[in-house]
Amino acid sequence: MSEVTSAPSLAKRLRTILSSDSVAVLMEAHNGLSAKLAAEAGFQALWGSGLSISAALGVRDNNEASWTQVLEVLEFMVDAAELPILLDGDTGYGNFNNVRRLVRKLEQRRVAGVCLEDKLFPKTNSFIDGERQALAEVDEFCGKMRAAKDTQLDPDFVVVARTEAFIAGWGLDEALLRAHAYAEAGADVILVHSKRKDSREILSFMEQWDDRAPVVIVPTKYPTEPISRFVRSGITNFIFANQSLRTVITALQQNLRTLKETQDLMSVENDIAPVSEIFRLQNVQELKTSEERYLPSSAQDEARAVVLAASKGDFGELVKDRPKAMLRLRGKPIMTWHTDAFRRQGIRRIAAVRGYCKDAIDLADIQYFDNDEWASTGELASLYTAREFLQGDLVIAYGDIVFDEFILRNLLAQTDGIGIAVDGGWKLRERADAKRDLVITEGAYDPVGLSECKLVAIGEGVAPEQAAGEWIGLAHFRADKTAVLVKLLDQLGKEAPEALRTGALPMLLGRLVAAGETVSVAHTFGHWYDLDEQKDLLLASAQVKS
Ligand code: SPV
Ligand code: MG
């Protein structure tokens, strides 16, 4: 019997983090993007900072943003990061009754816990005139704690009690008294806050704290104190409460000043994230994939092209940090030569299969599929990673060729069902390498495409003396034949998985012919370049038409 397991809830994750003996940092976030970036940086939990969220909204940390506005921000953060978030719930936005509704709404939005502080509504940030801030009555605050604990439906939802006794200048005894009372009233964790520049208050607190609940601290004002000092005192939970927001402020101030002064986009261009990075963070890819699935097929009938760009290539140092499809030819990546040509022919839906150095292929407006086993698999395996994209009118292109655009234009115009572009002048290209996709055809060489010429055999087994040309690595399928192609790939996957894993495209074309499909030939005479090594790149740079 298979065991059903489900991932722990966000609340459970927060509870585990805060109650474990390992050091944990709750990283501040103030919107969906900063939450996502913190998750990508490896933080396991977030602090929904009142200071940072209010500042990001352009208001003060004085409950000027309503609690439902804060809740909206939190909802975006949870969805973006899928991390447990401890909300800085200030004073609970009112009395025990407001706390109850807050807890209910937080749980509904999968916020993992709330931290309530013993001040009065509307609160003021702890670092502004701390001594003048009034503290809540202990009993009243304990009532809020009990109300929160009684309200939560998920037993793992975390309620943190924060005492501001040190902030308000009431001293150690008051801090201890309050912390004990709050733990007694049900608080899961105690936050003891200090605005001293050293660890003195916190360490004196820890000397007398009886560990009846874990402690968390916010070392904003004492950043020079090493975390290890607190760990030795028994604290393992730390809130980095505002460093993301401060990072944003510094970066924005600097670049906005520069842009204002220079009025030159290039003055910042190389120091800021590319637009493609925004798309990645927004997970644009997922939407593209879902469109394939859910949009009506008329939208899918639009012509599309897929570029196979998973391989590394024999380019030595040149491909140290990028695949050959990203090598530059006359200043633009090889892949951009493809995409420009496709777009000029009205093909806007373009996909690329990446493998080697996949992160180096980051051109915008391309749908990416990844063949992570590129080193041990072949072209068909790469093509198959893009299976869901293989529909409608489809061009398949090798990522390591460049071609004059008329070849693509002719191929598109001449294909009825399945077509390939073949070089009739292949013999003129002197090359020692044996890896050429030679073809035998039936019908005359005809660059204008007036007479019929079709594929008889291709690839391994075609001897040079029989060959009528060389396939250049461009194929075109009309929509009904794309369906045939996918069927064949699926069938291979079932009946000959090793062939699918390691096979090359000529094998597939050969199988289509063997299955009775007509593969028509669009001719060229040169005007394309097979980029296998550096000298090919040099030759193409000198000759290709831009
Ligand atoms: C916050 O981040 O809003 C906090 C921590 O409450 S502090 O600003 O240090 O009070
Ligand atoms: Mg706060």
CA of 275 from ligand 2 middle (Å) equals 33
State the Cα–Cα distance between residues 308 and 319, nearest whole angstrom.
Answer: 16
Locate CATH 3.20.20.60 in the chain. 10-241
Site to probe by mutation for ligand 1, drawn from 242, 243, 245, 246 as the one with most ligand atoms within 8 Å of Cβ, is 242
Name the residue with tokens 């009395």. Answer: 95
- Give residues (CB < 6 A) around ligand 1: 49-52, 88, 125-126, 218, 220, 241-242
CA of 87 from ligand 2 middle (Å) equals 9
444-464 confidence digits (pLDDT tens): 777 666 678 999 999 888 988
Q: Which atom of ligand 1 is nearest to the CA of 241?
A: 2
Site to probe by mutation for ligand 1, drawn from 87, 218, 245 as the one with most ligand atoms within 8 Å of Cβ, is 218
Locate CATH 3.90.550.10 in the chain. 275-543
CA of 90 from ligand 2 middle (Å) equals 6
CA of 49 from ligand 1 middle (Å) equals 6
**Could you list the pLDDT tens digit for every one of the 546 residues in the chain?**
445 567 899 999 999 999 999 999 999 999 999 999 999 999 999 999 999 999 999 999 999 999 999 999 999 999 999 999 999 999 999 999 999 999 999 999 999 999 999 999 999 888 988 778 899 999 999 999 999 999 999 999 999 999 999 999 999 999 999 999 999 999 999 999 999 999 999 999 999 999 999 999 999 999 999 999 999 999 999 999 999 999 999 999 999 999 999 999 999 999 999 998 999 999 998 998 888 788 876 655 689 999 999 987 777 777 888 888 888 888 889 999 999 999 999 999 999 999 998 988 888 889 999 999 999 999 999 999 999 999 999 999 999 899 999 999 999 988 889 999 999 887 776 666 657 899 999 987 776 666 789 999 998 889 888 898 999 999 999 999 999 999 999 999 999 999 999 999 999 999 999 999 999 999 998 888 888 777 787 787 777 766
**124 Cβ neighbours under 8 A, 6+ residues apart:** 61, 62, 133
516-546 confidence digits (pLDDT tens): 999 999 999 888 888 877 778 778 777 776 6
Residue 1's pLDDT is what? 42
Contact assessment for residue 398 and residue 308, using Cβ atoms and an 8 Å cutoff: yes
State the Cα–Cα distance between residues 246 and 224, nearest whole angstrom.
Answer: 17
Q: Regarding the domain with residue range 10-241, which homologous superfamily does it belong to in the CATH classification?
A: Phosphoenolpyruvate-binding domains (3.20.20.60)
Q: Regarding the domain with residue range 275-543, which homologous superfamily does it belong to in the CATH classification?
A: Spore Coat Polysaccharide Biosynthesis Protein SpsA; Chain A (3.90.550.10)
**363 Cβ neighbours under 8 A, 6+ residues apart:** 276, 333, 335, 336, 339, 352
289-313 confidence digits (pLDDT tens): 888 788 876 655 689 999 999 987 7
> Atom 10, ligand 1: which residue's CA is nearest?
126
Specify whether 404 is catalytic.
Answer: no
